[in-house]
Amino acid sequence: MEKTFVLLKPDALQRGLVGEILARFDRRGYRFLALKLLQTTEAQAAEHYGVHKGKFFYEDLVKHLTSGPVIAMVLEGSEAIAAVRKMVGATRPPEAEAGTIRGDFGQAGLRNLVHASDAPETAAAEMAIYFDESEFVASERAIDRWIFEDGE
């Protein structure tokens, strides 16, 4: 099983898309290990987008991420990082395929609704920005045997 980090950005909350987006992950069979509503601080946003520091769009990213509440979550499932990113769609909503979160609901570049980690290392680093490991709740569901293959 692989863990990944997902963040519903302020535009997802302001547009009333939280339920729809969470339902997509739930219906896909991902386990929710951690989930919380919070107001991102400037320090968290700066750390989250640190890889982009110095780029022309960095300040706008930080400003957007701190503009309203967000929902941070840790999901677990088979090849979760790649699969969740595919569900989320291309970073720029106009380039995202129909059927993806950004393809179905996204409108503009920074207003792309959701962030999903791109690699195990970034997932671990991003989880640490928003969660303490003690906040993770691991549990098995009766349905898991119908979703995951033996040995996962």
Backbone angles phi, psi at 136, to 5 degrees: -75, 135
Tokens of 142: 């009766």
Instruction: Give per-residue pLDDT as tens, 42-57.
Output: 999 999 888 888 888 8
Instruction: Give per-residue pLDDT as tens, 81-124.
Output: 999 999 999 988 888 999 999 999 998 777 899 999 999 999 99
41 pLDDT more than 80: yes
Tokens 């969740």 correspond to 84
Q: Of 48, 52, 64, 115, which residue is the catalytic one? A: 115
CATH number of 2-40+70-138: 3.30.70.141
User: What sign does the dihedral 88-100-21-94 (CA atoms) show?
Assistant: positive
Flag whether the pTM goes above 0.75.
yes
Confirm whether 64 is a catalytic residue. no
CA–CA separation, 11 and 3 (whole Å): 24
Pairing of strands 31-39, 2-8: unpaired
